[in-house]
Chain A
């Protein structure tokens, strides 16, 4: 059974940093891309970014709103992904979900990307 569990959330002051962890089990972690998606209270989903598998270079992409402040990394030996949140702002307050990603080209030029497993989320509150 695939399991995705986030941890590390909490209350943090503006300008400070926080690191979230995403611990997984039930699948070969190194074969998959992993992403972070956040949801502000009462709002919709906002994609934060993702990290590709080492097979595809382990590269990352980020949303414009967090680029330069957030860093996604992975430790395949621990089946864990991380989200380093730096220079936090009040608008970063949200429930942060970690997801397993299926991403590939369909062979005719279209890109397939979807999150097939989601954790329950960890709450980050940025406030003074």
Chain B
């Protein structure tokens, strides 16, 4: 069981918007920053969001991140079939001096 909680799967139609939640506690999300990773089928994870809401260069602004208290959210608007992937959230956990990840959310674009 993962320390951070994500919905195992979500689906939406092309063009729609989806929000993926990531729930933690004070020692991780509550007091540290959150990052999000996209893993396309058969590939390595790729950084999507860092510092809660910052996009690396090259990541489209269709992807957004936010954090409130002990929860974080990844938003993807204007869904495309190429967005079908697993999405993971991650954060440092100060109580165990380790990085914790969510279990991942498999996004299907119908």
The number of residues on chain B lying at the interface, defined by a beta carbon within 8 Å of a beta carbon of chain A, is 29
Inside 8 A of B50's CB, which chain A residues have their CB? 102, 112, 114, 116
**Does A56 lie at the interface of the complex (its beta carbon under 8 Å from any beta carbon of B)?**
no
Q: Which of A44, A97, A103, A109 touches B2 (beta carbons < 8 Å)?
A: A44
Q: Which residue of A lies closest to B51 (CB)?
A: A112
> Does more than half of chain B's interface fall in helix, strand or loop, or is it mixed?
strand
Inside 8 A of B24's CB, which chain A residues have their CB? none
The number of residues on chain A lying at the interface, defined by a beta carbon within 8 Å of a beta carbon of chain B, is 29
Closest 7 CB pairs of A and B: A114-B35, A47-B99, A44-B104, A113-B92, A114-B50, A118-B44, A45-B101
Interfacial residues, chain B to chain A (CB-CB below 8 A): 2, 31-33, 35, 37, 43-47, 50-51, 56, 86, 88, 90-92, 94, 96-104
